[in-house]
């Protein structure tokens, strides 16, 4: 699989991350020279295993954690020098609830809006509470709400000041199907209204369903940034593995026109092809192998999924050319 460069600058990016590294006190380096541009109006999914640095990256962009190196702009504002303006452009739905438990839903969400210096707008607050099925709970105290309802309150708080950029950190963790559906309906509506959405997730299907582009982070490095559609085409890839009778030292030059890889023991030749094409090239390949005097004793085909691609990206030791 060939991967495109990750540091392609996008003109008119709404979030621009330039050379960001983060070393926590104690010496752990959680982010390594991250470059990322988020397009205005897109849904961007950041995938990565536990501890890869997703929350750290979001926290740096939101100005809650200072980068050790590099700069970030959000809606044109430097997130350190111009913190307030940058932060006002951002709504953040964190993983965990830290909210004023004795307040009512209405007061909490209205107060959040005020924190960003926005004039009160009861009609807007009413709309988001209704969109999140929280309207009948508007006078309930937060501490009396179920976990799912509290998650809805977090989303309402994040949207209270009408941010241009919405971050959702692990939005589906511990959430039931109904809330997930409500959330994704709302996310799609927000995107249609022009909001840029960045979400972190462990769920590949979620990224598949929702995202326009996907970024994969591994051990603090952003190793892939790709259009989902392109990754989905890679999903259509199949592999044909041929177990050879005799090991090969290298792939013969006469077979260079086929995308073939040879296992380190020289006994398995793997051919990747596009399963959606009428002509997969298999017949020609097998004929060419015969001409070259290469005989096989077994052949297996398998299909790669986005999950496979993700797992191999994040777990393989081999470096990805990004
Ligand atoms: N305040 C901190 N001090 C020291 N190390 C930290 C701190 N916060 C995070 N880390 C470390 O930085 C690494 C990245 O953590 P981060 O929370 O960004 O990962 P993540 O990709 O969001 O993981 P998860 O999927 O588990 O939420 C982890 O190894 C974590 O232990």
ipTM > 0.90? Answer: yes
Same domain, 62 and 180: yes
Asked if residue 7 belongs to a domain, the reply is no
CB 237 within 8 A of CB 275: yes
Q: Assess whether 266 and 299 both reside in one domain.
A: yes
CATH number at residue 291: 3.30.70.1560
What is the rounded distance in angstroms from the CA atom of residue 60 to the CA atom of residue 46? 14
Same domain, 269 and 170: no
State the residue for tokens 């309402």. Answer: 156
Q: Is residue 112 part of a domain?
A: yes
90 part of a folded domain? yes
In a domain, 321, yes or no: no
Q: Give one word for 4, left, alpha or beta, with left for phi > 0 and alpha for psi -120 to 50.
A: beta
Nearest-angstrom CA–CA distance, 44 and 228: 9
In a domain, 260, yes or no: yes
* pLDDT for residue 5: 44
Q: Supply the pLDDT for residue 89.
A: 94
275: Cβ–Cβ under 8 A, 6 or more apart, which residues?
A: 236, 237, 238, 303
The number of distinct structural domains making up the chain is: 2
Q: How far is the CA of 209 from the centre of ligand 1 (A)?
A: 26
Same domain, 294 and 226: no
What integer pLDDT is reported at residue 275 of this predicted model? Answer: 67
Q: Which atom of ligand 1 is nearest to 57's Cα?
A: 18
| Residue 95 alpha carbon, nearest atom of ligand 1 | 27
Residue 192 and residue 132 in one domain? yes
**Which CATH number characterizes residue 118's domain?**
3.40.50.300
Side by side, the strands of the sheet bearing 260-262 are 260-262, 268-274, 237-244, 296-303
Show which of 182, 211, 232 is a domain's final residue. 232
Pairwise CA distance, residues 65 & 79, whole Å: 10
Q: Looking at the structure, do residues 284 and 149 belong to the same domain, yes or no?
A: no
The neighbour count for residue 22, using CB atoms within 10 Å, is 22
State which of 196, 213, 232 marks the end of a domain.
Answer: 232
Residues 131 and 162 in one domain: yes
Ligand 1 mutation pick, 20, 21, 24, max ligand atoms within 8 A of CB: 24
Whether 241 and 216 map to the same domain: the answer is: no
Beta strands in the chain (DSSP E): 13-23, 29-39, 43-47, 69-74, 77-78, 90-93, 165-169, 196-201, 213-218, 221-227, 237-244, 260-262, 268-274, 296-303
pLDDT at 195 (0 to 100): 94
Residue 178 lies in a domain: yes
Q: For position 313, what pLDDT does the model report? A: 67
pLDDT tens digits in sequence order for the chain, 322 residues long: 444 444 456 667 999 999 999 999 999 999 999 999 999 999 999 988 888 999 999 999 999 999 999 999 999 999 999 999 999 999 999 887 665 578 999 999 999 999 988 899 999 999 999 988 899 999 999 988 888 888 889 999 999 999 999 999 888 777 788 888 888 888 889 999 999 999 988 777 778 788 999 998 989 999 889 898 787 666 567 889 999 999 999 999 999 988 899 999 999 999 988 766 778 888 899 999 999 999 999 998 876 666 666 776 666 544 443 3
Domain carrying residue 293: 237-303
Cα of 89 to ligand 1 centre, how many Å? 25
User: Given this model, what pLDDT does residue 276 score?
Assistant: 67
| 284 and 179 part of one domain | no
pLDDT tens for residues 244-287? 999 999 999 999 988 899 999 999 999 988 766 778 888 899 99
Is 204 inside a domain boundary? yes
Are 43 and 176 in the same domain?
A: yes
Assigned token pair, 125: 């607050």
User: What does the pLDDT read at residue 317?
Assistant: 45
Model pTM above 0.80: no
Residue 191 domain-assigned (yes or no):
yes
Q: How far is ligand 1, taken at its centre, from the CA of residue 105, in Å?
A: 30
Query: Which residue has the least CA distance to atom 4 on ligand 1?
Result: 24
Residue ranges lining ligand 1, Cβ < 6 Å = 24, 26, 28, 30, 48, 50-56
Please check whether residues 170 and 244 belong to one and the same domain.
no
Q: Give the residue from 173, 208, 232 where a domain finishes.
A: 232
Q: Are residues 212 and 194 in the same domain?
A: yes
The per-residue pLDDT for 46 is: 93
Q: Could you give the CA distance from residue 57 to residue 34 in angstroms, rounded to a whole number?
A: 9
């Amino acid at each position: 699989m060939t991967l495109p460069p990750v540091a392609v600058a996008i003109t008119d990016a709404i979030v621009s991350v330039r050379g960001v590294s983060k070393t926590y006190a104690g010496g752990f380096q959680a982010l390594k020279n991250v470059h990322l541009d988020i397009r205005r109006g897109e849904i961007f999914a950041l995938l990565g295993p536990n501890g890869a640095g997703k929350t750290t990256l979001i926290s740096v962009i939101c100005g809650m954690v200072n980068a050790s190196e590099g700069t970030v702009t959000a809606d044109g504002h430097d997130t350190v020098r111009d913190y307030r303006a940058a932060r006002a452009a951002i709504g953040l739905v964190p993983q965990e609830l830290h909210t004023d438990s004795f307040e009512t839903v209405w007061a909490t969400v209205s107060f959040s809006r005020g924190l960003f210096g926005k004039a009160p707008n009861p009609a807007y607050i009413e709309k988001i509470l209704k969109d999140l099925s929280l309207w009948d709970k508007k006078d309930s105290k937060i501490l009396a709400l179920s976990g799912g309802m509290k998650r809805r309150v977090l989303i309402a708080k994040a949207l209270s000041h009408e941010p241009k950029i919405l971050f959702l950190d692990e939005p589906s963790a511990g959430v039931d199907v109904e809330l997930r559906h409500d959330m994704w309906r709302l996310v799609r509506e927000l995107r249609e209204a022009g909001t840029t959405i960045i979400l972190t997730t462990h769920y590949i299907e979620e990224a598949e369903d929702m995202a326009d582009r996907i970024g994969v982070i591994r051990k603090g490095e952003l190793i892939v940034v790709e259009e989902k559609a392109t990754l989905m085409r890679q999903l259509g890839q199949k592999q044909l593995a041929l177990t050879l009778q005799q090991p090969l030292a290298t792939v013969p030059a006469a077979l260079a026109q086929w995308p073939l890889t040879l296992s380190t023991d020289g006994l398995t030749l793997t051919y990747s092809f596009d399963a959606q094409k009428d002509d997969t090239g298999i017949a020609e390949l097998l004929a060419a192998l015969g001409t070259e005097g290469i005989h096989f004793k077994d052949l297996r085909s398998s299909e790669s999924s986005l999950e496979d691609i993700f797992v191999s990206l994040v777990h393989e030791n081999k470096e990805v050319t990004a």
